[in-house]
Structure 1
Amino acid sequence: MHKNYKVNELFQTIQGEGFYTGIPAIFVRLQGCDVGCAWCDTKHTWEVDPVKQTELNQLTDRSNESERWSGVNAQQIIDEIKRLGYTANLVVITGGEPCMYDLRELTHLLHEFGFHTQIETSGTYPVLVDSLSWVTVSPKINMRAKKEVLLTALERANEIKHPVGTEKDIEQLDALLRPVKSIKEKTICLQPISQKAKATTLCMKTCIERNWRLSVQVHKYLDID
């Protein structure tokens, strides 16, 4: 049975944050999210409006953000990547909240075609992906929807990339990580919210103290997508 993925965008760029910073990547952005992060920079992906449905080949114009989406299966996504002539080996599946979807078929097929896959998720949904996928959990704690960050998502994560604005965010992360048994096997990144100077200083200080990794959203500093 083919899964139906609602794609908002499909484009090639440089991964600007986290473990794969600087790596060329094909982004598959899925439509739909109910987490409600106040600082979200992709709010146009939150709602799935039937009126906004379109064809996949109409979603590669990135001149402006759009609520348009296309319902496609895994093979159609790969066919579109081939049609566009993209050269990156890393496919980043993001959103919206990609783990609202069962991603096993899509990630498995991408691996069969020679791609590596990375999932960027809030951790508020079960992570249903191929065993080879790199899972980045950016835990969203006490957002508008009050959704719980799942322990199963944190255990599956290869990377935990936490947005930080104040010391309270560090404390919340510590509490969240306390029950995670596999924590020593994970890459932990701290990411300053909106490139704020105080947040960046706090992240740098904490990363040095704990031998964690700083994620600075390079794509925003370089003004690239």
Structure 2
Amino acid sequence: MYKVNEVFETIQGEGSFTGAAAIFIRLQGCPVGCSWCDTKHTWEIKDTLRQPLGDIVIKTAETEHWAEVSPAELLALFATEGYQAKHVVITGGEPCMYDLNPLCHILHQHGYSTQIETSGTFEVKAPADTWVTVSPKVNMAGGYTVLQSALDRANEIKHPVAMEKHVDELLQLLQRTDTTAKLVYLQPISQQRRATELAIAMCKRYNFRLSVQVHKYLGIS
């Protein structure tokens, strides 16, 4: 069973799958404590805010409400809602607080591809053919460290940047893992102009890629 904050169909706006139609499953719960987090409503799991899945799907605003849902119920929901996308992004919150194997397996069996967006501070429990995006969170308020196992499992590393120290943090992390088969992105925090200019300059210097959160520029979820 998974604690689900949101389920919706949209366009993936970040990283390697930018522009792809996708179904997002946003899970509730995250202790990492990123100061710039844009989904702080997913941090706490309050029993008093549990709702039926039907109420979660029709949300019109970000709330802390969540539903407890099985993999089979999520799969059935896709059909009920008429979702056409075949790529599923599991995000949060921190999705790797959960064992994602049961959810990913049932989705793969029904023709979906899966992607996880994680801070890298929890072990990634998912099938080998799930695409793993690690957005490493360093020195956050929760005191968690980026796990070696998460870095090694990552298909792409997408690092949020606002200052040069964030690039330095990334360079130190990259020394810990083989990046030969990994894609490395810099993502400006909150569309700040200076952060974007810095990210572009650092992408040129280190041959990284740029991720600009296209969905926010388009004004969509």
Judge same fold: TM > 0.5, yes or no: yes
- Counterpart in the other structure of 1:32: 29
Is the 1:164–1:199 contact (alpha carbons within 8 Å) kept by the matching residues of 2?
A: yes
What aligned pairs does 1:1-225 form with structure 2 within 5 A after superposition?
Answer: 4-180=1-177, 182-225=178-221
2:63 and 2:206 map into 1 onto residues whose CA distance is: 40
1:192 and 1:89 map into 2 onto residues whose CA distance is: 28
1:117 and 1:222 map into 2 onto residues whose CA distance is: 24
Sequence identity of aligned pairs in percent?
Answer: 54
Name the aligned partner's letter for residue 50 of structure 2: Q
Is the 1:137–1:154 contact (alpha carbons within 8 Å) kept by the matching residues of 2?
A: yes
1:194 and 1:18 map into 2 onto residues whose CA distance is: 15
Q: Kindly state the Cα deviation for residue 63 of structure 1 after the two structures are TM-superposed.
A: 1.7
Is the 1:192–1:216 contact (alpha carbons within 8 Å) kept by the matching residues of 2?
A: yes
Name the aligned partner's letter for residue 178 of structure 1: Q
Is the 1:57–1:80 contact (alpha carbons within 8 Å) kept by the matching residues of 2?
A: no
| Other structure's SS at 1:145 match | coil
2:147 and 2:130 map into 1 onto residues whose CA distance is: 18
| Other structure's SS at 2:15 match | coil
2:206 and 2:180 map into 1 onto residues whose CA distance is: 12
| Other structure's SS at 2:22 match | strand
Q: Write the deviation string for residues 39-96 of structure 1: whole angstroms up to 9, x where unpaired.
A: 1111110111111111111112242111111111111110111110100010000000
Output the TM-score relative to the length of structure 2.
0.98
Q: Which 5+ residue runs of structure 1 have no aligned equivalent? A: none
Is the 1:99–1:128 contact (alpha carbons within 8 Å) kept by the matching residues of 2?
A: yes
Name the aligned partner's letter for residue 107 of structure 1: C
Q: Write the deviation string for residues 8-30 of structure 1: whole angstroms up to 9, x where unpaired.
A: 00000000111111111000000
Coordinate RMSD, CA, aligned: 0.7
Which shifted more, 54-63 or 182-191?
54-63
Matched positions, count:
221
| Other structure's SS at 1:149 match | coil
Moved over 2 A (4+): none
Output the TM-score relative to the length of structure 1.
0.97
Which shifted more, 53-62 or 19-28?
53-62
Q: Write the deviation string for residues 181-210 of structure 1: whole angstroms up to 9, x where unpaired.
A: x21110001000011111111111111222
